[in-house]
């Protein structure tokens, strides 16, 4: 029997602020560069009967989900593309572009994806499972100094060298739980029961490296302004300081963009209560000159 595709149930963040900032016109053409479950895409398309949109995502499950979510809308208004948003080559210019960065809730919640240590799963972490190295290849084969540098740079982990040493001592690792337990045993005891699990930052670093997230983001922001019409708007939602720093500086240093948000927009208290994921979200806008 063929396995059913997992449900991609993802709650979009900062939706009110994003729609307001895009200033959507009745005849607008938009790009959702990280379509996910299709929440933002649907909101944009609902702003007018003639609004059109291109929805792209690296994850085949996300593409299937957004196609299903938007199935009742006029297919002439929607185009889909699977791949890395940094590699997209548009046929037309856009009135607005959005990107909601990072890992999505369904990717975390589906055990076999290997993004989370809440479940025992193989160490995969690829958003596009058809290509690229896995987290297992990194933790089981990289040299100790390279692992430590990765965990420090992308995880901002103060105990990166201790963790890398423990990984090398105990590898090979097959599952997320095995790795998380090794990481926890590497840090001082008082940090093992803190606000966040001691493996959180290391898993973030591995995920970023596996998916080349920051390099792709830099490439995307360098290219995306050329995809905008004059006065077109780009809005990017980030979830940690490494992403937000790139967005902030690339927007500010772009010769094609004018920064709209001097400070990032954050979620209102009601949204933070209803969706805890929104608490770390930051939204920045810029406009094509």
pTM metric for this prediction: 0.90
Cα–Cα–Cα angle for 10, 52, 71, rounded to 5 degrees? 50
pLDDT (0 to 100) of residue 2: 35
Of 148, 146, 141, give the one whose Cα is nearest residue 163.
Answer: 148
Q: Are 229 and 289 in contact (CB under 8 A)?
A: no
Q: Which residue has the tokens 């607008």?
A: 28
Cα-to-chain-centroid distance, residue 56: 13
Find the distance separating the first CA and the last CA of the chain, reported in whole Å.
Answer: 54
The burial of 55, by beta-carbon neighbours within 10 Å (0-12 exposed, 13-18 middle, 19 or more buried), is given as buried
Residues in the chain with pLDDT < 70?
A: 1-11, 102-115
Q: Are 27 and 56 in contact (CB under 8 A)?
A: no
Q: Are 78 and 68 in contact (CB under 8 A)?
A: no
pLDDT (0 to 100) of residue 4: 41
Model pLDDT for residues 254-286, shown as the tens digit of each residue: 999 999 999 999 999 999 999 988 999 999 999
How many other β-carbons are positioned within 10 Å of the β-carbon of residue 251?
21
């Amino acid at each position: 029997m063929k396995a059913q595709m997992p449900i991609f149930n993802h709650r979009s963040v900062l939706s009110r602020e994003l729609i307001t900032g895009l200033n959507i016109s009745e005849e607008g053409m938009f790009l959702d560069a990280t379509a996910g479950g299709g929440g933002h895409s649907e909101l944009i398309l609902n702003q007018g009967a003639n609004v059109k949109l291109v929805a792209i995502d690296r994850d085949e499950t996300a593409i299937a989900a957004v196609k299903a979510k938007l199935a009742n809308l006029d297919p002439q208004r929607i185009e889909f593309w699977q791949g890395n948003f940094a590699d997209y080559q548009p046929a037309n210019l856009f009135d607005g572009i959005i990107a909601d960065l990072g890992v999505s809730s369904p990717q975390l919640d589906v055990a076999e994806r290997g993004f989370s240590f809440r479940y025992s799963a193989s160490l995969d972490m690829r958003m596009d499972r058809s290509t690229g190295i896995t987290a297992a290849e990194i933790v089981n084969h990289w040299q100790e100094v390279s692992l430590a540098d990765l965990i420090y740079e992308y995880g901002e982990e103060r105990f990166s060298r201790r963790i890398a040493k423990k990984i090398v001592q105990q590898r090979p690792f097959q599952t997320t739980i095995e790795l998380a337990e090794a990481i926890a045993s590497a840090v001082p005891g008082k940090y093992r029961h803190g606000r966040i699990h001691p493996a959180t930052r290391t898993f973030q670093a591995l995920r970023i490296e596996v998916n080349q997230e920051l390099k792709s983001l830099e490439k995307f922001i360098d290219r995306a302004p050329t995809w905008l019409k004059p006065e077109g708007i780009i809005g990017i939602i980030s979830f940690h300081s490494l992403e937000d720093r790139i967005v902030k500086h690339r927007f500010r240093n772009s010769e094609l963009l004018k920064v709209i948000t001097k400070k990032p927009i954050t979620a209102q208290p009601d949204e933070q209560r209803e969706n805890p994921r929104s608490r770390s979200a930051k939204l920045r806008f810029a406009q094509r000159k």
